[in-house]
Structure 1
């Protein structure tokens, strides 16, 4: 990877991660267009580090809002933390179970199979993008609610987030915000909760990808496994750039969500699914 490629991927990731249009799908398509392998360990590490940059953008952007709602009192913190834990727990159950089913059905329980092997499947990505687009459009047509979170809504949002984990193209933010809207939760509250879940989910994903990359490097060049450190340089540059692009994208998302333009993202996802099929 050269600096120009990292710059392009960082801008694509930063802009798309915080919009409900599946950043992973866009980054993978960009990688393919530049002749890069989306399933390679160093590329998945870069993708995760780009996610890290946007995670920090989320924290910076929502910090004041979270302080007013999540940290306004000890009781508010306990109830909101409980919803986050419930949603994250069900995400883990659904996501891990789905990955095991995919491993059994698609790979016949092959010992070397990893879910990242599916990331280069353009047809699967296109279907996931189209599904996310339909979900966004349907949720945008529902009457806007003003409910707060509940255990039931947290369970539903967490379950849908779990469905997103194995599939690049099934936008996590699009699916979780849409599920919140379908539950009658206010748009701002659904947005805040969706990105709070993202902040919790990102660190374990980073740790998993770092471990995966280390094992791949050690197996390929056992005598030079210490070269892993050098792969972090490009990823760190990408992280900073995606942070800046993410801040801009969040302002765009919040404005359109409040202005009732949510459905436009759904239309975009459906169009993007056709583009992915063509590129693939």
Structure 2
């Protein structure tokens, strides 16, 4: 990988992992438009580590409170933080199970430009509907088990490339009545275990492979994805209540149309 490829791919991963615009839709663009080769499993692990570190660092206080309270709940000491910890675990189960069962199938049959373009548009329109029509009155401490199961199933759907994990979980949260801020924060919190699981799975594959490791590329990719993801989370949460989801919906529609045009005319 060249320095330019490392910078572009790491920044794309960092900025798109947590915005509701689909990281997979963006990561295929360099290969499709510029003919870049696949970045490789080791680089995937590195940039996922960077985004995981970013969300852990940004929500370090929440993660600390939830972790300590969750451990306490195993001894019978329950509070709102331990409850949130159990809800995060519950929301992770559907995606983890679906990932184990159908990840290879999706990798083989669903990573085409046509699928990604279609899901980018379809779930972009669903995000617009949720943002425009939802009540937006609930906070995360008002989530029920039913709500979290629905959000967890939505996160499982995000295994389909182009859906956007953050986009579909925010959509589900909005439809269930969460405010934009609450939907975004819960989406970011439930990303932690799923990114950790995905990164662990990729690491195991990497350890079994004989792929050469470019440590410079991995180090730079990790740092850049961390910085871009952290900046993305910070500013998204700052402005989401004021600007809503419409800018991201418009962007998704434009990106989807562009990808469709590329599929059929280039």
Report TM bin, short chain.
0.7 to 0.9
Alignment of 1:66-105 (within 5 A): 74-99=78-103, 103=105
Sort the Cα spacing of 1:78 and 1:94 in 2 relative to 1 into closer, same or farther, 3 A: same
User: May I ask how many residue pairs the two structures share in their alignment?
Assistant: 253
Alpha-carbon deviation of 1:131?
Answer: 2.0
Alignment of 1:80-159 (within 5 A): 80-99=84-103, 103=105, 115-118=106-109, 120-141=111-132, 142-147=134-139, 148-159=142-153
Alpha-carbon deviation of 1:178?
Answer: 1.3
Q: 1:190 aligns with which of 177, 183, 189?
A: 183
Q: Greater shift after overlay, 50-59 or 90-99?
A: 90-99
Aligned partners of 1:212 and 1:66: how far apart in 2? Answer: 28
- CA distances 1:164-215 after superposition (whole Å, capped 9, x unpaired): 11x2211100110110111012322222221111110112212222333444
For the 8 Å contact 1:24–1:168, the answer to whether it is kept is yes
Q: 2:44 aligns with which of 39, 43, 47?
A: 47
Alignment of 1:259-274 (within 5 A): 259-274=242-257
Alpha-carbon deviation of 1:254?
Answer: 1.2
Sort the Cα spacing of 1:210 and 1:116 in 2 relative to 1 into closer, same or farther, 3 A: farther
Aligned partners of 1:122 and 1:67: how far apart in 2? Answer: 40
Alpha-carbon deviation of 1:70?
Answer: 7.6
Sort the Cα spacing of 1:245 and 1:37 in 2 relative to 1 into closer, same or farther, 3 A: same
For the 8 Å contact 2:96–2:194, the answer to whether it is kept is no
Sort the Cα spacing of 1:213 and 1:65 in 2 relative to 1 into closer, same or farther, 3 A: closer
- Specify the SS of the correspondent of 1:259: helix
For the 8 Å contact 1:14–1:50, the answer to whether it is kept is yes
Unaligned runs of 5+ residues in structure 2 are 70-76
Sort the Cα spacing of 1:198 and 1:232 in 2 relative to 1 into closer, same or farther, 3 A: farther
For the 8 Å contact 1:22–1:170, the answer to whether it is kept is yes
Alpha-carbon deviation of 1:279?
Answer: 3.4
Unaligned runs of 5+ residues in structure 1 are 104-114, 218-224
Aligned partners of 2:66 and 2:223: how far apart in 1? Answer: 28
TM-score between the two structures when normalised by the length of structure 1? 0.80
Sort the Cα spacing of 1:136 and 1:267 in 2 relative to 1 into closer, same or farther, 3 A: same
In structure 2, the residue matched to 1:107 is none
TM-score between the two structures when normalised by the length of structure 2? 0.84
For the 8 Å contact 1:146–1:184, the answer to whether it is kept is yes
Aligned partners of 1:79 and 1:27: how far apart in 2? Answer: 36
Q: CA RMSD in A?
A: 2.5
The answer to whether structure 1 residue 169 and structure 2 residue 148 are counterparts is no
In structure 1, the residue matched to 2:59 is 62
In structure 1, the residue matched to 2:7 is 7
Aligned partners of 2:216 and 2:157: how far apart in 1? Answer: 32
